[in-house]
Structure 1
Amino acid sequence: MMKRRVVIVEDEELVAQDIRVILEGAGYEVPAIFHSAEDLLEGIEDLQPDSIIMDIMLAGEMDGIEAARIITEKMDVPIIYLTAYSSNDIIKRAGETEPYAYLLKPFHERDLRVNLEMAIHKHEAKRNRLRLIRERTLNEYLKRSIAEKEALLRELHHRVKNNLQLIISLLSLQIRYAEDPAMEYFFRDYVNQLRSIAVIHDRAYPSGGSHIIDFGDYLRSISSQLLESYGASSSVCLDIMADDVRLNMDTGVPLALIISELISNSLKHAFEGEGRITISIEKMNGSYLLVYTDDGRGLPDGIKFPDGGSFGFRMIENLSMQLGGNIRVEKPERGVKFTFEFTEQVYSNRMS
């Protein structure tokens, strides 16, 4: 443990040496003795003492009280006056500098040690209180800042969902007037993709500075909407295995669009009547594995993923690359199987 450093300011050399011996005997270090206020002010910043013991009347033009006033403006160090002067005027002037003790000469050795120890402890307690006040103030500021940001995020989510609903309503109205079945499917696909994003915003909840989606719960919700949209609620069975899979927004939105497109493709092209779609998402070491299968008619001959298919296939490929992986397509005896290993994305990492 480092010794406490105490500077002595005393113009009487014998008194100064006596104080030094007392302090060193009590376990303190005396790095310097000054005989004038001018010398003290010149050398004090380099020493950084834990306390100063100072006489008031010193050799030179400046007394100890004036020196203490200058020091306390620049440094946070406890000052103890040790003086023979006890007049009311001197004590009043000294009190304006807020000393930690005021000892009169002749002093008792024990009083000197006790007052010095108390001064250092009071000073440390004061610094600790100030630090706690600063930390408490900072914590309150951070709490208010977080609350304001959360309120802003809630408002942004609300506005995003409102805007998405406006676009969905506009496209839905357009579907009602579409006379060409191809155009109806075109608009319906976009409505379903927008609904996929809207449900993401509805299901996201804040956690640790980002927004998290319970993706298994999300899939069950959006798949029901898709089955209803294509009139397949009673004919197509959809199995989802994605328990305890929670993804942030940066990962959830592109993955939602991929799965929405896969389900839409199956409902439009895979089944003549009844059918089954199975979706599983499994958390692995540092990544996730998505497996999507249907038991429909499979991909037509000559259609390869992604270039040989529709725009939807190319969109799936691009989104899978955004998630740090590639989709593998297999053709089992019946239906089709998409396998996709991906990693959770962090926005700040993608920006770097």
Structure 2
Amino acid sequence: MKKRVVIVEDEELVAQDIKAILEDYGYEVPAIFHSAEDLIDNLERIKPDSVIMDIMLEGSMDGIEAAGIIRKKHDVPVIYLTAYSGDEIVKRAMETEPYAYILKPFHERDIRVNLEMALYKHEAKKNRVRLIQQRTINEYLKKSIAEKEQLLRELHHRVKNNLQLIISLLSLQIRYIGDPVMEEFFIDYLNQLRSISMIHERAYPSGGSYIIDFIDYVRSLSMQLLESHGRTSDVKIRIHGDHVELNMDTAVPMGLVISELISNSLKHAFTDGGGEISIELEKLDGRYRLIFADNGPGLPENVKFPDGGSFGFRMIDNLSKQLGGHLEIRRPPRGTIFIFEFTEQVYSERIDT
């Protein structure tokens, strides 16, 4: 688009000459004014890219006064084109920070060069202002994010402390339980709490992110469960799959599911000796697939999922629904396979539903 330049000159012949020069150089002249008052009244309507203005004009306002108003209220570069070069006039003019000061008589080249420089300087000034504004916004956002991350770290620290307090209380209580069934019941709950605690331990690996490396987490969880059940020497757990990072809204229920599946296999699948558990996590198109398998004797025929099994089966079913997932159980000739497809949860979306 052509740049629009307004001329303010009380000598009509001079104004028309400037207009012809500008148009020859490809500029558009939307208006010529003979007084500063007319310019101020119409400036907002015309919205020019620049103003070329004489200092001595018709009316009660001179060009310097008009330029002062333009500087305060409008972001338009002003170029003085005048025959006045006295020190007092120049000093007043400089206070308005004009983009150029051209003395009459002028050469048409002076008009072109000074106008191009004025437009260039004005654009550069706007870019600097935008850059400063963007930097200010960025600094504010950085500060705001840092404050929120500090708050999250503090809350996260308190959650871990509270989880450890509960775990310690349960651990102490287990020491005084004489009933093996009740002891196993409390150990299961203790392991579920530890699975959640381990997620929180990995929640801030890079200074504030809730995303965790889930495969690494499953390896640590598996070792902890093997040690808890005293099966580190006779049961092997193979863990493999894609590199997957999950947020805590997904990682916590998934950790509970895997913890329950591993505990169930350790308690029921390998009662006559050792065995092997396989855990695989795959990335799909917008979803994930968890494949859990053991090589134990398999589920008894009379055990149906989820209502025909234990409380752990019902918990797994509820958690899979929470994750918008689909759980399939396969019964090969040897062992049991759980195939679970799920999506990563977004907290705000889960609230809305």
TM-score, structure 2 normalization: 0.92
Contact 2:287 2:341 in 1 (8 A): yes
- Name structure 1 gaps, 5 residues minimum: none
Residue 119 of structure 1 corresponds to 118
AA of the residue aligned to 2:291: V
Q: Secondary structure at the match of 1:211?
A: coil
Residue 74 of structure 1 corresponds to 73
Residue 89 of structure 2 corresponds to 90
Of stretches 323-332 and 4-13 in structure 1, the one that deviates more from structure 2 is: 323-332
AA of the residue aligned to 1:258: V
> Does residue 1:24 correspond to 2:23, yes or no?
yes
Residue 300 of structure 2 corresponds to 300
Mark the CA change 1:347 to 1:209 in structure 2 (over 3 Å): closer, same or farther: farther
Q: Secondary structure at the match of 1:92?
A: helix
Contact 1:331 1:337 in 2 (8 A): yes
Deviations 1:45-101 (A, max 9, x none): 111111101111211122212111112211111101122223332222222211112
How is 1:301-320 mapped onto 2 (pairs within 5 angstroms)?
301-320=301-320
Residue 149 of structure 1 corresponds to 148
How is 1:183-332 mapped onto 2 (pairs within 5 angstroms)?
183-205=182-204, 210-272=209-271, 273-332=273-332
How much does 1:243 deviate?
4.5
Distance in 1 (CA, whole Å) between partners of 2:32 and 2:196 is 75
Distance in 2 (CA, whole Å) between partners of 1:194 and 1:319 is 15
Distance in 1 (CA, whole Å) between partners of 2:343 and 2:259 is 19
Mark the CA change 1:206 to 1:346 in structure 2 (over 3 Å): closer, same or farther: farther
How much does 1:331 deviate?
2.4
AA of the residue aligned to 1:260: S
Of stretches 76-85 and 109-118 in structure 1, the one that deviates more from structure 2 is: 109-118
CA-atom RMSD in angstroms? 2.1
Contact 2:298 2:336 in 1 (8 A): yes
Mark the CA change 1:72 to 1:206 in structure 2 (over 3 Å): closer, same or farther: farther
Contact 1:3 1:29 in 2 (8 A): yes
Q: Secondary structure at the match of 2:61?
A: coil
Distance in 1 (CA, whole Å) between partners of 2:207 and 2:191 is 30
How much does 1:268 deviate?
2.1
> Does residue 1:164 correspond to 2:163, yes or no?
yes
Mark the CA change 1:330 to 1:110 in structure 2 (over 3 Å): closer, same or farther: closer
Q: Secondary structure at the match of 1:158?
A: helix
Mark the CA change 1:4 to 1:315 in structure 2 (over 3 Å): closer, same or farther: same
Distance in 2 (CA, whole Å) between partners of 1:209 and 1:192 is 26
AA of the residue aligned to 2:77: P
Distance in 1 (CA, whole Å) between partners of 2:189 and 2:133 is 53
Residue 104 of structure 1 corresponds to 103
How much does 1:236 deviate?
1.9
AA of the residue aligned to 1:59: E
How many residues align? The count is 351
Contact 1:204 1:214 in 2 (8 A): no
Distance in 1 (CA, whole Å) between partners of 2:12 and 2:283 is 78
How much does 1:248 deviate?
2.4
> Does residue 1:139 correspond to 2:138, yes or no?
yes
AA of the residue aligned to 2:31: A
Residue 174 of structure 2 corresponds to 175
How much does 1:221 deviate?
0.8
Seq. identity, %: 72
Q: Secondary structure at the match of 1:7?
A: strand
Contact 2:242 2:283 in 1 (8 A): no
Distance in 2 (CA, whole Å) between partners of 1:206 and 1:6 is 58
How is 1:44-59 mapped onto 2 (pairs within 5 angstroms)?
44-59=43-58
Deviations 1:183-202 (A, max 9, x none): 21221111101110111122
Q: Secondary structure at the match of 2:304?
A: coil
- Name structure 2 gaps, 5 residues minimum: none
Deviations 1:173-225 (A, max 9, x none): 11111122222122111110111011112223467985222222211111111
